[in-house]
Amino acid sequence: MPLRVGVIGAGMIGQEHTRRLTTVVIGAEVVAVTDLAADRAGLLAAEAGARPHASGAEVVARPDVDAVLVTSWGPTHAEYVLAAVAAGKPVFCEKPLATDAADCLRILQAETAHGRRLVQVGFMRRYDDAYRRLKRLVDAGDIGAPLIVHCAHRNPTVPVSYTSEMAMLDTAIHEVDVLRWLLDEEIVSAQVLTPRPTRRRFDHLQDPQLMLFETSGGVRVDVEVFVNCQYGYDIRCEVVGETGVARLPDPARPAVRQDGREGVAVVTDWRERFGDAFDAEIQAWVDAASAGTATGPSAWDGYAATAVGDATVEALKTGETVPVDMEPRPSFYSGAQQ
Ligand SMILES: NC(=O)c1ccc[n+]([C@@H]2O[C@H](COP(=O)([O-])OP(=O)(O)OC[C@H]3O[C@@H](n4cnc5c(N)ncnc54)[C@H](O)[C@@H]3O)[C@@H](O)[C@H]2O)c1
């Protein structure tokens, strides 16, 4: 029998994941949808052949909902994840796990008390083929021990509602997770340098930003976040090791020679860059949830990303190097990273 999924949040990514669940991945169906905007929930439910509901609590409580997908606004995630864990149901939560570290800790406690993993957090880069190859190479020791990592996260542009803090909380949060996974080390401090801002920005926005992280093993990381770069969606990661350097390949695109020039189109949209990774991520979730558990980025990873995010936002405000305030990792969350 397919996994019967209840979707909480019928906005942009809720619609994308519902389409994935109904038309791409194997072994799932969407049976329930809710959103604060009832009309949005109604439309998505009709498309998916599901029933619309008035609240997330109703969705979680429905006996024929086997697993829950949380794609509502960030500040609402903790409430729904906690409800799913209390009901013993596997839950996929889009990033962030929670906007507050204390809420993340509540989720860790609830899941630990349940005794089996139920929570997967939506850090889809771990399912990207290029990142997976890079990790295999680093893990195999092909470039020796990593010493430095250079990253860039560039978007063509962002809406006026985007704030300077979102450069960390919405954007670099993906680098934070993938760096922890790639290096298998925690990030222990954050600093933010603020270059001359682009004139193609809003007055309220510091863009670009240069984030500097240090890991528990002493690896130094720089992450350029530039969300009005104009030219494309460009994700870069280069690991400098003791005996070599490894970097993410550019997405494969045909090179066109014309009018005396050669050119390769640059990806402009994050959905295009990470579409396959999202598909693999949701398939992995469905497979694990069908067995009553969870895989991939855990609630611990969600907590760590939120803790690093808090330190980085503080570093942006103060200009200081800010230590990351994190609880020790419970043994429940030890073991191989996926
Ligand atoms: N992994 C990724 O790369 C990625 C990409 C996009 C979005 N996201 C994350 O997904 C989440 C949703 O983002 P989005 O772009 O779809 O936003 P969105 O604004 O398009 O959709 C969010 C939806 O949640 C609904 N909602 C808000 N509060 C609710 C509540 N209490 N109960 C039920 N529904 C509620 C809103 O009405 C809205 O329809 C965010 O946390 C975002 O960070 C992750």
CATH assignment at residue 29:
3.40.50.720
Task: Evaluate whether residue 49 is within a structural domain.
Answer: yes
Same domain membership, residue 174 and residue 99:
no
pLDDT tens, position by position, 319-331:
999 999 999 999 9
Confidence of residue 291 (pLDDT cuts 50, 70, 90): very high
Say whether both 253 and 146 belong to one domain.
yes
Residue range 217-237: average pLDDT?
98
Say if CB 207 and CB 228 are below 8 A apart.
Answer: yes
The answer, yes or no, to whether residue 335 has pLDDT greater than 80, is: no
The bridge status of strand 234-241 relative to strand 146-154 is antiparallel
In a domain, 195, yes or no: yes
Q: What's the pLDDT at 334? A: 87
Report the sign of the C-alpha dihedral through residues 309, 315, 320, 325, in that order.
negative
Cβ neighbours, 10 Å, residue 42: 15
How many domains does the chain divide into? 2
Q: How far is the CA of 73 from the centre of ligand 1 (A)?
A: 4
Q: Is residue 319 part of a domain?
A: no
Q: Using the mean position of ligand 1's atoms as its centre, give its distance from the Cα of residue 75 in Å.
A: 10
Inter-CA distances, 204 with 159, 172, 231, Å: 12, 19, 22
CA neighbor of 279 nearest in space, from 175, 176, 128: 128
pLDDT recorded at residue 77: 98
**Does the structure show a pLDDT above 70 at 336?**
no
Q: Domain boundary residue among 265, 294, 324?
A: 265
pLDDT at 338: 52
Give the pair of three-digit tokens for residue 98.
């929670």
Mean pLDDT (whole number) for 153-177: 97
**What is the domain-level CATH number for residue 218?**
3.30.360.10
Work out the angle at residue 213's Cα, subtended by the Cα atoms of residues 209 and 218, and round it to the nearest 5 degrees.
155
> Are 40 and 89 members of one domain?
yes
Mark 94-123 as b/e (b = at least 16 C-beta within 10 Å): bbbbbbebebbbbbbebbbeeeebbbbbbb
Q: Are residues 282 and 223 in the same domain?
A: no
Averaged pLDDT, 242-264:
95
Residue 335 lies in a domain: no
CA of 277 to the centre of ligand 1 (A): 19
Average pLDDT over residues 112-138: 97
Is the CB of residue 76 below 6 angstroms from any atom belonging to ligand 1? yes
Identify whether residues 261 and 140 lie together within a single domain.
Answer: yes
Q: Is residue 214 part of a domain?
A: yes
Looking at the domain assignment, is residue 312 inside a domain? Answer: no
* Residue 256 lies inside a defined structural domain of this protein: yes
pLDDT beyond 60 at 337: no
pTM for the whole thing? Answer: 0.96
Q: Is 309 in the pocket of ligand 1 (CB under 6 A)?
A: no
Ligand 1 atom with minimal separation from the 10 CA: 39
Looking at the structure, do residues 15 and 116 belong to the same domain, yes or no? yes
Supply the pLDDT for residue 229. 97
Q: Which atom of ligand 1 is nearest to the CA of 72?
A: 24
Q: Is residue 15 in contact with ligand 1, taking CB distance under 6 Å?
A: no
Pocket test for ligand 1, best of 7, 8, 12, 33 (most atoms within 8 A of CB): 12
Q: How far apart are CA 284 and CA 274, in angstroms?
A: 15
Q: In this structure, are 37 and 91 located in the same domain?
A: yes
252/134 same-domain check: yes
Mean pLDDT across 149-162 = 97
Q: Does residue 136 sit in the same domain as residue 85? A: no
- Atom 6 in ligand 1: residue holding the nearest Cα: 13
Q: How confident is the model at residue 278 (pLDDT cuts 50, 70, 90)?
A: very high
* Mean per-residue pLDDT over the chain, rounded: 97
Range of the domain at 249: 129-265
User: Do 109 and 44 fall within a single domain?
Assistant: yes
275 close to ligand 1 (CB < 6 Angstrom): no
Check residue 246 and give its pLDDT: 98
43 falls within a domain: yes
Length of the chain measured in residues: 338
Cα–Cα dist 29/19, whole Å: 10
Give me ligand 1 centre to Cα 248, in Å.
29
Q: What is the mean pLDDT of residues 72-92?
A: 98
Where does 194-252 show beta strands of DSSP type E? 209-215, 220-226, 234-241, 245-247
Does residue 8 share a domain with residue 69?
yes
- Classified as helix, coil or strand, 133 is helix
Determine the pLDDT at residue 201.
Answer: 83
- Statement to judge: residues 135 and 259 lie in one domain: yes
Q: Name 228's Cβ contacts closer than 8 Å, sequence gap at least 6.
A: 155, 156, 157, 158, 198, 200, 201, 205, 207
Q: Tell whether the model's pLDDT for residue 80 goes beyond 80.
A: yes
CA-wise closest residue to 294 among 91, 94, 98: 91
The CA 9 to ligand 1 mean position distance, Å, reads 6
